[in-house]
Amino acid sequence: MAISTSTSVSTSLRQDPVRNGDLAVLPSTETTEQDLLAGLLASSHGDERASALLQHFPSIGHVITAETAQLCAFGLTGRDIAALRLVREIACRMAKAEVRRRPVLSNWQALIAYLQTAMANEQVEQFRILFLDTKNNLIADEVQQRGTVNHTPVYPREVIKRALILNASALIANHNHPSGDSKPSRDDIEMMRELKAAARAIGIELHDHVVIGHCNHASFRSLELL
């Protein structure tokens, strides 16, 4: 049986959530950060709250990684916060999938992209270790410690203990600087020397230590600090 054009178009419109306004925002390259953020918020005050958030935080990335209490202070609901957490987790998993595609040392740009996604907008320092096998494939990616805005305690003994449990052959250490400046501090350099010595003592290679800033990074290996 032939279906008339008008009936077909009518059915199509009913099934199209974008045309019917069921989606708050259809993003494109021209969509602003405020519109993207407002589209994630369930409240009728989404635009107003998105604007307030972006005036307080440096970027949408900092909003997504903000503490729950900070977001609640701007009137966000549990549903709003869950949506932000989902976006962040999806972004991190997509970036990590690229890292897993091939050995890490031959996939450096993907690694940096992942670390930027996972760590660049954190408000406190975190110390993360990538554990690698004999072919430099990723075995595990773990946050070992969380600290303050300018310090994270690092315990080489605990890192090596974990490496032995995972049967790792090599490590890449990473931490972020919430200030946004990726330049290694004296404490960073001393801490990495201790970790390298501890790893070398049991035959584990410390390939690099990467410091993540807001839009930049520093490699100890490239800076000849390892």
Mean local confidence (pLDDT), 72-101: 91
User: What is the spatial distance between Cα 204 and Cα 134, in angstroms, rounded to a whole number?
Assistant: 10
User: What is the spatial distance between Cα 120 and Cα 114, in angstroms, rounded to a whole number?
Assistant: 10
54: Cα within 13 Å, side-chain hemisphere: 15
pTM (predicted TM-score): 0.77
Count other C-beta atoms under 10 Å from residue 121's C-beta: 23
User: What is the spatial distance between Cα 61 and Cα 116, in angstroms, rounded to a whole number?
Assistant: 10
* Tens-digit pLDDT profile for residues 1-43: 444 444 444 444 444 444 444 444 466 778 888 888 888 887 6
- What mean pLDDT value characterizes the chain? 85
For residue 111, the model assigns a pLDDT of 93
Residue of 112, 174, 104, 97 lying closest to 133 (CA atoms) = 104
Residue 208: which H helix or E strand, with range? strand 205-212
* Tens-digit pLDDT profile for residues 16-26: 444 444 444 46
More confident residue, 17 or 91: 91
Q: Write the DSSP symbol of residue 40.
A: H
For residue 176, the model assigns a pLDDT of 92
